[in-house]
Structures are given as structure tokens and as C-alpha cells.
Amino acid sequence: MKKILVCISSVLYFVAALAFAADRPAAEPNQRAILKATMQKAAKMNASGKVVEISDTSIKIERRIKGNTEVMEFALESPARDIVVNDSVKIDYIMKDGRLTASRVSKPKAGKGSGNHGTKQIKEKPAPAVK
């Protein structure tokens, strides 16, 4: 009688374990890894040069790299204000639909400074005159 009771209780525990295991779904693949693989950010790049031609929808700049001149044309997301031909500009851009699309067009800051790079110059006070 004890053997039958032990067998029945062990079968019940086994069936209960299977029932709980069936409630849990199979291990899902990592959703973050899937999203990362499908959604890649576009690389942001930049270029500096002089404006050759500008309109509301596009801008052309001429830039020099290692003695070679190169003309680049960008599509504008929004019209560039206060930029005219022969201005020096810096353009942040991305590749969108096979075209270079400028996300930001700005004039570089005027002057590079005196080259101190943050060093503070201290002026010495003259020695007091002795009478």
C-alpha cells in the first residue's frame, strides 16, 4: 500500500511540474539585440569649406584636402540663414536616400585665439618705491 501511495504522489508531482513548465513560453530571443541589428544609426560626418553656390534646397562648398580641391553638394533640411557665397562654413551631414543631407550649417568662430590654450598669465605688481 505504501508503494502505491508513493508512486501515485510522485506521478502527481511529475504532472504538476510539466503543467508549470508548459505555462512558461519558450525562451524568446533578446529583443534588444534584434532591434540593434535592424536599427542602425546613420554616421554623422562633417565638412568645412567655402560656399560656392547656395539655394533654399541645396548648398555647394569647395574644400581643400592635402592640396586637392573638392566640390561637395548637400541637400538642406531647412534653408540656411545668414550664409552667402564665399563664406567659410562647417556642415554636419549624413547620407540619406543616397544623397548628402546637411543637418546643420554654421559659420566657424572667428579667430583661433592667441594660442594660450587656457593658461592664465599673471601680471607682477611693481615693487613699492622706497623713500
Note the pLDDT of residue 34.
64
Q: Any idea of the CA torsion for 54, 77, 70, 115, to the nearest 10 degrees?
A: 90
At the second CATH level, the architecture of 45-106 is: Beta Barrel (2.40)
Domain edges within the chain: 45-106
- Report yes or no: 87 and 107 within 8 Å, Cβ to Cβ: yes
Per-residue pLDDT of the chain (131 residues; tens, 9 = 90+): 888 988 899 998 888 887 777 665 555 666 666 666 666 677 788 999 999 999 989 999 999 988 899 999 999 988 888 888 999 999 999 988 888 899 889 988 866 555 555 566 666 777 777 76
